[in-house]
Amino acid sequence: MEQETKDFLKQRLTDEGFNRLMKIDNPALHQFVAKYIEHCNPDKVFVCTDAAEDIKYVREAALRNGEEKALATPGQTVHFDNYYDQARDKQHTLILIPKGEELDKAIKTGDRDECLKEIHNIMKDIMKGKEMYIRFFCLGPTNSEFSIPSLQLTDSAYVAHSLDILYRQGYEEFVRQGRNARFFKVVHSAGELDERKTSKNLDKRRIYIDIKEDTVYSANTQYGGNTLGLKKLSMRLAIHRGSKEGWLTEHMLVMAIHGPNDRKTYFTGAFPSLCGKTSTAMLDNETIVGDDIAYLRNKDGQVRAVNVEKGMFGIIMGINSKDDPIIWEVLHSPAEIIFSNVLVTPDKKVHWIGKDGEVPAEGENHSGKWFKGKKDDQGNEITCSHRNARFTVSLENFKNLDPTLHNPEGVAVGAIVYGGRDSDTWVPIEQSFDWTHGIITKGASLESETTAATLGKEGVRKFNLMSNLDFLPIRINKYIQANLDFGKGLEKPPLIFGVNYFLKDKDGNFLNAKTDKKVWYKWAELRVHNEVEAIKTPTGWIPKYEDLKRLFKEVLNKEYSLEDYKKQFMIRIPENLAKIERIKEVYKTQVIDPPNILFEELDKQKQRLLDAQEKYGDYITPDKL
């Protein structure tokens, strides 16, 4: 079999490509590559190493084949996806499971045998007339306990170029690990392209995740969330693997909060979309390790975390010089950046929704030639950029990058934060009583309210445990149990906090300024080191007024009134009780075999709230406690 595989590869690859592949001593990898060269049938195959000239070849191919266009600023390019290929295709993104198995309602699944047959039919000869790029990357730092070598085969130079920016090169890691490499595999084809070089056959768009074979299949799409196999697609493979091996894959930022005397305390944080994740990761005077996906391991009784990636595939809508000065500076520098689905003006500059300055009168965007007032087939006005328009850039361009990004040991985690969009229940920051209380009442109870801007109806609460519901390949009960078990082996578990930047008064006005979060994190950093006391409430520990007053002055040079403190940190008993009932109902009706400990922990919290209500009434200001 090995010899047959080698003979086939020798026929289909250049001598150089064949030698590069053979340098990796891994027959399983050779067989996989051979299988999909034969099946997808590209005209040419490029085996890419970590060498700068190879990476340059891919970047230039994206320009050469028209998937990207150069912009006025050196290093910057633009890519457009098909008008109807602008976001993750949740409908056709399936976890493949064998007949007879069942996952929770919230997890989209497909019959493994049927879906594999379908995707292989779709991908038969799909690369004919095109070039296949064989790409090697490493999820997590290289030469590390965290390292997961990952292979992606793609016929899109844009996708291959994006991967270069987002992930650590991994060819040498594959060489190093050889036959021991337990690697993730991705096969992607953009399929037939239209005259704008965008995917044409969207009716055959499929994204299938085979957790049994650690393989992702993606066809007839170019949008990054569907095609960058190492991102949320491989994240599912890693959650599955980690759940069996005792480590965690989380949809979390990793950052350092800078405390007294040059101390750095590392935080991870999970936030659903539009709940402040990027603004938290980019807090000025703090430093970022990662903004999206983290691996967490127990090393000698301590949680260590790494950023799985090295770049950012960020939403660009709303980024402006005032609220996002660091990102703004990067986006206006001659860094290597791919803008996608923004507006390109005739002078090859870019504009997007919410950018400083006037919207240009015309240009090119995801709809083709664009002008103000342009409408789509349904009569809806087309905005200058898509609401999900993106930028792809390496974190190494950010001046607030923490130096530990590539540390093979990861960083020691002092705190874990869960935050949702919540107008009336959670206080701005609250520490859980212990690990189990935090995982259940903060992480597994996470909700986010929809906004009118995104979904047309405001204030609808969406359940999204740990901000990871969309990406689970295992049952919810198993995922929660994995988080609970992870805490058991820790000598000093990280503190767990719930945060909420969106609390409102009865008139609908926000009770916090955008910048107040800087103070909440400085307080949390002090709590990690036991340097400030806290007030015990029925739902967790909250800050004392005098500590926040001092921090507001130090951090924001702002007076902080007792009146504001009482409004923000008032315990809202009816709302907290209603939340408990909502969460219990979700688990009773939508989750297979929900863990008993979840109901026990929520019932304990309910009893504490009822006891406080009897003693103090419905709304309790901190001074009463």
Catalytic residues: 275
The end-to-end CA distance of the chain, in Å, is 73
CA–CA dist 612, 625 (Å, integer): 9
Phi, psi for residue 47 in degrees, rounded to 5? -90, 115
Reference 200, options 192, 210, 211; nearest CA is 192
Reference 314, options 298, 330, 291; nearest CA is 291
Q: What's the token pair of residue 38?
A: 């034969």
- Name the burial class of residue 333, with classes exposed (0-12), middle (13-18) and buried (19+) by CB atoms within 10 angstroms of its CB: middle
Count the neighbouring beta carbons within 10 Å of the beta carbon of residue 10: 14
Whether 330 contacts 393, CB under 8 Å: yes
Angle at 363 between CA 361 and CA 365, to 5 degrees: 120
**CA 101 to chain CA centroid, nearest Å:** 27
- DSSP assignments along 501-570, one per residue: S--B-TTS-BSS-GGGHHHHHHHHHHHHTT-S-EEEETTEEEE-HHHHHHHHHHHH-----HHHHHHHH-
Phi, psi for residue 407 in degrees, rounded to 5? -65, 120
CA–CA dist 586, 594 (Å, integer): 10
Strands 368-371 and 287-290: unpaired
DSSP three-state, residue 436: helix
**CA 478 to chain CA centroid, nearest Å:** 21
- Cα dist from 281 to 284, 318, 335, 524, 564, whole Å: 9, 16, 20, 15, 26
- DSSP assignments along 280-341, one per residue: HHT-TTSEEEESS-EEEEEETTEEEEEES-SEEEEE-TT--TTT-HHHHHHHTSSS-EEEES
Angle at 288 between CA 354 and CA 402, to 5 degrees: 140
Count the neighbouring beta carbons within 10 Å of the beta carbon of residue 554: 11
Secondary element (H or E) of residue 74:
none
Task: Give the DSSP letter of residue 389.
Answer: -
Strands 350-351 and 253-258: unpaired
